[in-house]
Structure 1
Amino acid sequence: MKTRGFERVSKYQNKNINLPRRQTIASAGYDLEAAKDVLVPSIWRLNFVRIFRLIRNGHQLYEPDYELADHVLKPLLIPTGIKAYMPDDEVLLLANRSSNTMKKNLSLPNGIGVIDADYYNNPNNEGEIFMQVINYGVRPLQIRKGDRIGQGIFVHYLKTDQDLPVSRKRMNGFGSTNKEEN
């Protein structure tokens, strides 16, 4: 019987995607790799500076300014081509690699990602794991297929005494827990 692990999603089945693995005996994290080449643009080259100057100089922002900022300052999703299965009382935490911030100016804007057990094989995207990143360096960053871009750590979690039964099932993929109910 399978307890926890990783599988390739169907669209990457024959694309030479490596399953995540730990690199040392005491490593907690399983290294996640990019499933394809991705160019991560620098936030400094996406009209971010224009918005920053307006804010810094006390200019009033108008709706087009807010829309531009919302468009420009979105994280980029890097596909991993893998999905994770685990017991219902576990979660896979996605964390940045320490070398990403020091050597590549690459950050996870949400700090950590949370992959719930019911994300696995969801009908929307089969449970494929993506790493959300921003490049705060001044140069675009080329991520190559197979580059280690993050790490996943399986963690058991606890529920409170007041926890109510939930009958809602996940129907969609990324960020979907409040979208559909069964």
Structure 2
Amino acid sequence: MNLKDVILFEIVSSFKNKNINLPKRQTSFSAGYDFESAIDFKISPKTIFLTPTGIKSCFNKDKVLMIYARSSLSLKKSLMLANNVGIIDSDYYNNLENEGHIFIPLYNFSDKEIFVFKGERIAQGIFQKFYLTNDDNLKNMSRNQKNKVRKSGFGSTDVDHQKRDQ
């Protein structure tokens, strides 16, 4: 494997020895790697639950991991991804706050409690290459942007804006 093509899944340290599975494709033609819930839980009606997967992913900086709902999620469970599509950037891996743990925000749009069990497939991830515009380069970035290091996820790059807007 060429180093520029490194893509792998790992179990985060807090879920080691907890009998969870790495994401996998279900058929040879599947584009998506199925993510499972790492715990049993219930979601109350009209609420969001941040579902731990116990998984992190390492991949090159020219790739992104897109997280989508499985097609059966809404039909069988009355659940959807609260953020519609999750975007996992390469610098999320091993961040200081949560080790790059991939969480799936599920929204229960029904009027009843929904139970999800450990090992239940809840989302699928697809790796994609992304491109930059011709004028997107380090010369156009401020010193703060160039030196910025991701410390966490879920809105972590908005932290400066949140402080400004308060």
TM-score by length of 1: 0.79
Distance 2:66 2:23 in 1: 13
CA-CA distance at 1:41 after TM superposition:
1.0
Who is 1:146 aligned against? 119
For the pair 1:16 / 2:19, whether they are aligned, the reply is yes
Distance 1:33 1:141 in 2: 16
- 1:177 partner amino acid: T
Who is 2:76 aligned against? 103
Secondary structure of residue in 2 paired with 1:100: helix
Unaligned runs of 5+ in 2: 139-144, 161-166
Task: Give the counterpart of 2:10 among 7, 12, 18.
Answer: 7
For the pair 1:33 / 2:33, whether they are aligned, the reply is no
Who is 1:60 aligned against? none
Who is 2:152 aligned against? 172
Query: C-alpha offsets along residues 10-48 of structure 1, whole Å, 9 cap, x if unaligned?
Result: 0001101100000011101000000111111111xxxxx
Distance 2:152 2:76 in 1: 35
Distance 2:157 2:62 in 1: 16
Task: Give the counterpart of 1:163 among 131, 136, 142.
Answer: 136
Structure with the higher strand share, 1 or 2: 2
- 1:129 partner amino acid: I
Distance 1:164 1:3 in 2: 23
CA-CA distance at 1:175 after TM superposition:
1.9
TM-score by length of 2: 0.86
Distance 2:49 2:107 in 1: 6
CA-CA distance at 1:174 after TM superposition:
2.5
Aligned pairs (5 A) from 1:31-70: 31-43=34-46
Distance 2:155 2:38 in 1: 21
CA-CA distance at 1:146 after TM superposition:
0.4
Larger Rg: 1
* CA contact 1:78–1:132 (8 Å) conserved in 2: yes
Distance 2:37 2:13 in 1: 16
Secondary structure of residue in 1 paired with 2:84: coil
Who is 1:85 aligned against? 58
* CA contact 1:123–1:173 (8 Å) conserved in 2: no
Query: C-alpha offsets along residues 115-161 of structure 1, whole Å, 9 cap, x if unaligned?
Result: 00000000000000000111111221111110001011101000001
RMSD between superposed Cα atoms in Å: 1.4
Residue identity over aligned pairs, in percent, reads: 46
CA-CA distance at 1:173 after TM superposition:
2.7
**After TM superposition, which residue ranges in structure 1, 4 or more long, deviate above 4 angstroms?**
none
